[in-house]
A and B are shown apart, each in its own frame.
Chain A
């Protein structure tokens, strides 16, 4: 059974703080890694699709890096705002089952104004 882990499970930061969290996945048979933001009472919304080792992607104040050889990805939020409060999910796709998505448990971020 493939294991995709995320840490920390939850995080409370002050508005303006920068923060980061981790997604760990199997380092063999990597195909792709997705990051999603999931706000309460809404659907998960894609942030990044990452495929290459060393990839770094950015969307506004949010960025992500990928290390496929060691099996981790970091998500960074610079200058957190209350609207960043959400659960952040990573989703791992394995090369041998490239239409099958394994989600991590998520990191719940609360940004305190």
Chain B
């Protein structure tokens, strides 16, 4: 069964460093999403992406964040200069089409630890 994959499973970085989290969505899906969950808190929406551009983003998704679909299969989240508060579990998801009729499929997550 097709699945969303994410790499790495765990990333440790120093504050101020750039990190790139990678996701491979399901191949025929057209909508892509990033979420994060800080330990003990709600899952928070970061960004949705369709047709090679951001369709929605949250207040969390500031200039330090960017997303890209560089090669038609990968979907990446870049954090330019990490802060301690960026430590969280980051989930990628994809859906075949919009969310009115279609579920999201989630990847296993990347645990980001910023020291």
Q: Choose one: A31, A32, A43, A46; the contact of B109 (CB below 8 Å).
A: A43
Q: Which residues of B contact A42 (CB under 8 A)?
A: 108
A86-113 interface (Cβ within 8 A of B):
89, 93, 97-106
Q: What is the bound-complex CA distance between A64 and B59, given in angstroms?
A: 31
When A89-B43, A104-B42, A105-B42 are in contact, do A99 and B106 touch as well, CB less than 8 Å?
no
Q: What is the bound-complex CA distance between A32 and B31, given in angstroms?
A: 16
Q: Which residues of B contact A100 (CB under 8 A)?
A: 45, 48, 56, 58
Q: Is B98 an interface residue (CB 8 A)?
A: yes
Q: Which residues of A contact B44 (CB under 8 A)?
A: 103
Q: Which residues of A contact B39 (CB under 8 A)?
A: none
Q: Is A51 an interface residue (CB 8 A)?
A: yes
Q: Is A71 an interface residue (CB 8 A)?
A: no
Q: Is B104 an interface residue (CB 8 A)?
A: yes
Q: What is the bound-complex CA distance between A39 and B37, given in angstroms?
A: 15
**Do A32 and B100 have beta carbons less than 8 Å apart?**
yes
Identify the closest chain B residue to A33 (Cβ): B99
When A42-B108, A43-B91, A43-B108 are in contact, do A99 and B99 touch as well, CB less than 8 Å?
yes
Q: Is B85 an interface residue (CB 8 A)?
A: no
Q: Choose one: B45, B98, B106; the contact of A44 (CB below 8 Å).
A: B106
**Do B100 and A99 have beta carbons less than 8 Å apart?**
no
Q: Is B33 an interface residue (CB 8 A)?
A: yes
Interface string of A41-58 (1 = CB under 8 A from B): 011111001010000000
When A49-B103, A97-B56 are in contact, do A103 and B45 touch as well, CB less than 8 Å?
yes
Binding site for B on A (CB under 8 A): 31-32, 34, 36, 42-46, 49, 51, 89, 93, 97-106
Please list 11 pairs of residues, one from A and one from B, whose beta carbons are closer than 8 Å in the complex, sorted by A's number.
Answer: A32-B99, A43-B4, A43-B106, A44-B106, A93-B99, A97-B56, A99-B99, A101-B35, A101-B45, A103-B42, A103-B44
